[in-house]
């Protein structure tokens, strides 16, 4: 569960972000995401886990993202980084979602 999810949110989306396998595919940057739906967009979420280093080469990182309202059919997932840290570049291989 994402730390910036709200307790009162009732709609849930399971997101899997897979980092590529190239030598420098992983990132030290903060990664953010929002969902674009047919009715609305979710708020932006910081993909973070204080217990684990995320987005390393070849890693699959899973997140439970919540929204207060139904966003309709999921049209796309928008992902970006802040290009921070000692290894800011990142190679995303795949993003999967399930409601």
Q: How far is residue 47's CA from residue 16's CA, in Å, rounded to a whole number? A: 11
Quick: pLDDT tens for 44-89.
Answer: 999 988 788 999 999 999 999 999 999 999 999 999 999 998 999 9
Domain ranges of the chain: 11-98
- What's the CATH class of domain 11-98? mainly beta
Distance CA 47, CA 53 (A): 11
Predicted TM-score of the model (pTM): 0.90
Q: Are 5 and 64 in contact (CB under 8 A)?
A: yes
Taken as a whole, the chain contains a residue count of: 99
State which H helix or E strand residue 78 sits in: strand 74-81
What are the helix and strand counts (H, E) for the chain?
0, 6
């Amino acid at each position: 569960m994402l730390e910036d999810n709200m307790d009162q949110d009732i709609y849930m989306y399971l997101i899997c972000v897979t980092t590529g396998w190239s030598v420098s595919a992983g990132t030290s940057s903060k990664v953010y995401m929002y969902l674009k739906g047919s009715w609305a967009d979710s708020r932006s979420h910081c993909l973070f886990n204080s217990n684990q280093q995320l987005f390393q080469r070849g890693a699959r990182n899973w997140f439970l993202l919540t929204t207060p309202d139904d966003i309709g059919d999921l049209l796309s997932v928008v992902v970006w980084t802040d290009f921070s840290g000692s290894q800011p570049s990142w190679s995303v291989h795949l993003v999967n979602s399930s409601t």
